[in-house]
Amino acid sequence: MDSPLLLSKDMGLNVMNKVMSNKLFIAFYIAPALLMITILIFIPLVLSGYYGLMDWDGIGEKTFIGLENYITGLQDKLFWNSALHSFLLAVFSTLSLAVYLLVSFILASKIKGSDFLRKIYLIPMLLSSVAIAQLWVKMYNPSNGMLNAFLMMIGVENPPAWLANPSIVLYAIFIPILWQYAGFYILIYYAALKNIPESLIEAARIDGATPAQIALRIKLPLIKEVVSVTIVLAIVGSLKYFDLIYVMTAGGPNGASEVMASYMYKLAFSSYNFGYGSAIGFLLLIITLIVTVIIRKVTTTKERIEY
């Protein structure tokens, strides 16, 4: 028991505890991150809320106009239209989680090549958004794209112009967005599933549970907390989504694929309406916050799972 090795380890822990209980040291360790977050996130956040109160083109003088921008924003049909698109994306992202969960179940059961498959699913996540956008723009090209070439080969006469048709374009963009994040969620689920002790599964199997029962009655409840986190991630991520949409269609044609973030960008940087753009950005923040709080309320469970 009293081996010198253990002793020194104990001493190390003691010193560590002492240091960690010193308020000064705590402040010292936290300060850099706190400073960065304040400068990079909180100050701009407050500022954009403040700019939202101004009539400002980004260059000249700011004029204080009170809540006018926010009121216009709440009555702006285009804004609510883009908000609708953002929420649609959130719905689809959430639904797609079920598919990813299913894939993870399969990968986590001991099938051949699951390692290899897991890596394949992860590839889209390694690509930058702009590269993905370019890739899919090429695939969707109405005349030279892979997709329409294939459709024509199997006999479709007039394949749709995916990014030009206002009733299709939104869904055509959702596909690469969902595809992009598939690997990320599969990885999270996979890790959670692998974390479940084998003994639990073994016990269930001895009691005569079928694989489906094991998955739904044992594994799923055990990773519930993880699933709830991914739902939040998916919804918040969708509401503030920007990159692929901006590169692939810039919100067009005529706003058919506009989301809240791309609308904000357009206002601030194309129409030089910085005040209004900031207000929209702030509304976006508030909407996202509210939704996050609601989802956390709905999905979190009090019980803690311990293996």
Partner 1 sequence: MMIKKKTLTVLLSAVVSSFMLVGCSSGSEESSSASGEKEIQFMHLWPEGSSKKHYDVVNDIIADYEKENEGVKVDLEVLSNEQYKDKLRVLSTSKELPDVGLTWSAGFLEPYVGGNMFAPLDDVIESDLKDAFVPGTAEAYAIEDKTYGLPLELNIVSIYYNEKMFTDNNIEVPETYEELIEASKAFREAGIQPVALGNRDSWTGSMWYMYLADRIGGADTLNKAIDRSGSFEDPALVEAAKEVQNMVDNGVFVNGFNGLADEEAKSMFMSGQSPMYMIATWDLPNFTTNEDVPQEFRDSVKYMNFPTVKGEGDMTSFVGGPGVGLFVAENSDVKEEAKDFAAYFVKEWGEKAVTEAGVIPATKVDAESLELPQMYKDILNELNNASNITLFADVQMSPGVAQTHLDSIQALFGKQMTPEEFAKKHEEALSKQ
Chain contacts with partner 1 (rule: CB under 8 A): 39-41, 44-45, 47-48, 57-61, 137, 140-144, 161-166, 169, 240-242, 249-250, 252-255, 260-262, 264-266, 270-273, 281, 284-285, 288
CB of 6 to partner 1, least distance (A): 46
Quick one: 145 or 183, whose CB is closer to partner 1? 145
**Residue 174 near residue 244 (C-beta atoms within 8 A):** no
CB of 269 to partner 1, least distance (A): 9
Quick one: 48 or 96, whose CB is closer to partner 1? 48
Give Cα 238 to chain centroid, integer Å. 6
> Does the CA dihedral 121-126-129-133 come out positive or negative?
negative
CB of 77 to partner 1, least distance (A): 13
Dist CA 14 CA 35 (whole Å): 29
Quick one: 185 or 282, whose CB is closer to partner 1? 282
CB of 121 to partner 1, least distance (A): 25
Quick one: 193 or 256, whose CB is closer to partner 1? 256
Quick one: 104 or 148, whose CB is closer to partner 1? 148
Quick one: 57 or 225, whose CB is closer to partner 1? 57
Strands, E, within the chain: which ranges?
54-55, 63-64
Residue 266 DSSP symbol: I
**Residue 258 near residue 80 (C-beta atoms within 8 A):** no
Quick one: 222 or 264, whose CB is closer to partner 1? 264
Peptide bond into 253 cis (omega under 30): yes
Going by C-alpha positions, the residue among 290, 216, 276, 242 that lies closest to residue 85 is 242
CB of 105 to partner 1, least distance (A): 32
**Residue 263 near residue 82 (C-beta atoms within 8 A):** yes
**Residue 148 near residue 141 (C-beta atoms within 8 A):** yes
**Residue 193 near residue 223 (C-beta atoms within 8 A):** yes
Dist CA 264 CA 268 (whole Å): 6
CB of 64 to partner 1, least distance (A): 18
CB of 108 to partner 1, least distance (A): 31
Tell me the CA distances in angstroms from 179 to 121, 122, 123, one per residue in order.
Answer: 9, 10, 10
